């Protein structure tokens, strides 16, 4: 399995992108993440990115066959938007674990100390970044391969403000659809609660694969 694939199992099958199953019951993240939001977020919002991605690929296929690239700018944008949305949501579902993870794996903790000074500083920067994303986007912990270090990104929409080549390790969705039903405009409380159920074991597994 290619190193970036951990957590992306079941996201592409039979020549099409597909909605991966949730790795837990839809009410398993209560009380931090409510059942109704999880169901809508997964079954409607994430599903829409999958559908949009497959549709865009069909349209690109048709454009190549017709030799008609009049819509290439819109199609290229839709490709980046929907594919990034699909990948980040797939990582997002795996970024949370019912009950959370009490002890962060050593490898991840060590990488955090090297990159940010301490685990607490890494968590504080992650929370601050996620809470302060302008409009819709993500707080993202990622591995940057050139320096072999961790970075924290504020992703706008799904595809803006990335560093090429990074491997996302832990993703916190801060689009309003991710939290508004339960938290209304209190994004800050959502981010704090996300960190209580963050799956640091999953992030550590992704990091280990990225460094292989
Ligand atoms: Mn979302």
Please give the distance, rounded to the nearest whole angstrom, from the Cα atom of residue 148 to the centre of ligand 1: 28
pTM: 0.96
CB atoms < 10 A from the CB of 67, how many?
A: 6
Domain boundaries of the chain, sorted by first residue:
12-19+34-94, 106-210
> CATH says 106-210 is which class?
alpha beta
CA of 117 to the centre of ligand 1 (A): 30
What digits encode the pLDDT tens for the residues 125-158?
999 999 999 999 999 999 999 999 999 999 999 9
Which pLDDT score, from 0 to 100, does residue 96 have?
98
* Local confidence band at 4 (pLDDT 50, 70, 90 cut-offs): low
114 Cα to the center of ligand 1, angstroms: 30
Rounded to 5 degrees, what are φ and ψ at 126? -60, -45
Topology (CATH level 3) of domain 12-19+34-94: Helix Hairpins (1.10.287)
145 CA from centroid of ligand 1 (Å): 26
Task: Output the CA 113–ligand 1 centroid distance in Å.
Answer: 29
Nearest to 94 by CA among 155, 144, 168, 160: 168
Ligand 1 centroid to residue 46 C-alpha, Å: 6
User: How many angstroms separate the alpha carbon of residue 175 from the centre of ligand 1?
Assistant: 6
Q: What is the mean pLDDT of residues 184-198?
A: 98
Ligand 1 centre distance from Cα of residue 66 (Å): 34
d(CA 116, CA 51): 38
Q: How far is the CA of 111 from the centre of ligand 1 (A)?
A: 27
How far apart are the CA of 78 and the centre of ligand 1, in A? 16
Residues 6+ apart with CB under 8 A from 195: 123, 126, 127, 172
């Amino acid at each position: 399995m290619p190193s970036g694939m951990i957590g992306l199992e079941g996201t592409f099958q039979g020549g099409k992108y597909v909605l991966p199953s949730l790795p837990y019951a839809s009410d398993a993240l209560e009380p931090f993440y409510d059942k109704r939001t999880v169901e809508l977020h997964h079954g409607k919002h994430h599903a829409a990115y999958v559908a949009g991605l497959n549709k865009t690929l069909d349209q690109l296929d048709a454009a190549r066959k017709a030799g008609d690239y009049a819509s290439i700018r819109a199609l290229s944008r839709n490709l980046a938007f929907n594919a990034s949305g699909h990948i980040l949501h797939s990582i997002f579902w795996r970024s949370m674990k019912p009950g959370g993870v009490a002890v962060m794996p050593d490898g991840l903790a060590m990488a955090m100390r090297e990159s940010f000074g301490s685990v607490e500083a890494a968590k504080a920067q992650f929370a601050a970044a996620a809470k302060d994303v302008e409009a819709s986007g993500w707080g993202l912990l990622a591995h940057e391969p050139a320096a072999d270090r961790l970075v924290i990104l504020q992703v706008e929409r799904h595809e803006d403000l990335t560093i090429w080549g990074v491997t996302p390790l832990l993703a916190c969705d801060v689009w309003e659809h991710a939290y508004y039903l339960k938290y209304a405009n209190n994004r800050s409380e959502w981010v704090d609660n996300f960190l209580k159920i963050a799956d640091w074991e999953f992030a550590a597994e992704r990091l280990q694969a990225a460094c292989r």
